[in-house]
Amino acid sequence: MNKITAAITAVGSYVPDFVLSNQVLETLVDTNDEWITTRTGIKERRLLKEEGQGTSFMAIKAAQNLLEKANLDPKDIDLVIMATATPDMPVASTGVYVATQIGATNAFAFDLQAACSSFLYGMSAASAYIASGKYKKVLLIGADKMSSIIDYTDRATCIIFGDGAGAVLFEPNTEGLGLQDEILKSDGIGREFLKIEAGGSILPPSEETVKNKQHFVFQDGKTVFKYAVSGMADVSEKIMERNNLSHDDINWLVAHQANRRIIDATANRMELDESKVLINIQKYGNTTSATLPLLLSDFENQLKKGDNIIFAAFGGGFTWGAIYLKWAYTK
């Protein structure tokens, strides 16, 4: 009997219409297009501006896009994993609501939160459910409304983040395609360097925490950058070594779109040609849990069956890792 692996068989995405360009940011904070582009590679980002719409709105749209493209009945989905750092609300799971809204009435669902590594960790979880043989169709969605937790007077964070959603379907494969290997890491040393201080069990919401802007993202940029460069590059190089892959064997690097310099450093360590590195940070900024599936969606037509892909991410906590996957279809 052939070993069951978990392969991605469909992709979907959604980004909001509203574009926040570097030129507009110049009117909000003390910054300029050249400074942002040079340091991050970002030109614009999308924001979900409509009142009453949260992460679930984009997640539903991305899932519906996938269902339509794949001609898939949502009732056939066994599990929905919602990777997000910005759930609609505490306690009530966003993934559960999304599953119901898309008609995945036979699925169970849950949220997975690992900051910018949420989707990468979700890939590992989805793969394990498929490999167990108990589940046939797992829908993994990465979505974040980062604009809901960003202070647009803080130039250290407001230039970086955007809103968006992407979704992939994992199904069993017996051809040796799909997820091959993973290296996932975490280190609590990162807790102080990238966080939202208030709103949790340590510091519940109060008039004081709102006044002090403690419900917005705080980032020690230099420290996070240093850890991200070494972390993402280390695991990407290690997963290649572990699977006897040279730079010639790798078709694509699908890296978390946090900063162009971090992506370039990872690619350089892997000795990858620039043409093999998927980039869309200039269009969307850092959409946190959505960066990896948005890359797959934007470049789906270039991916070929059997392609060797390295996924890599780094997020708050700290959380990071790399996954080696063989692509399962040609469009």
The answer to whether residue 308 is catalytic is no
Of the candidates 316, 306, 325, the residue with the CA atom closest to the CA atom of residue 243: 325
Provide CB contacts within 8 A for 251, sequence distance 6+.
276, 304, 307, 308, 309, 327
Q: Which residue in the list 22, 65, 256, 259 is annotated as catalytic?
A: 256
Q: Which residue in the list 116, 158, 173, 308 is annotated as catalytic?
A: 116
Answer for the pair 266, 234: CB distance below 8 angstroms, yes or no.
no
Answer for the pair 5, 172: CB distance below 8 angstroms, yes or no.
yes
The answer to whether residue 215 is catalytic is no
Answer for the pair 308, 324: CB distance below 8 angstroms, yes or no.
yes
Dist CA 247 CA 250 (whole Å) = 5
Query: CA angle at residue 110 from 295 to 97, to 5 degrees?
Result: 90
Give the length of the chain: 331
For the record, the structure tokens of 141 come out as 């969605």
The answer to whether residue 256 is catalytic is yes
Q: Which residue in the list 22, 173, 259, 286 is annotated as catalytic?
A: 286
CA 139 to chain centre: 14
* DSSP 3-state of 190: helix
Active-site residues, by number, are 116, 256, 286
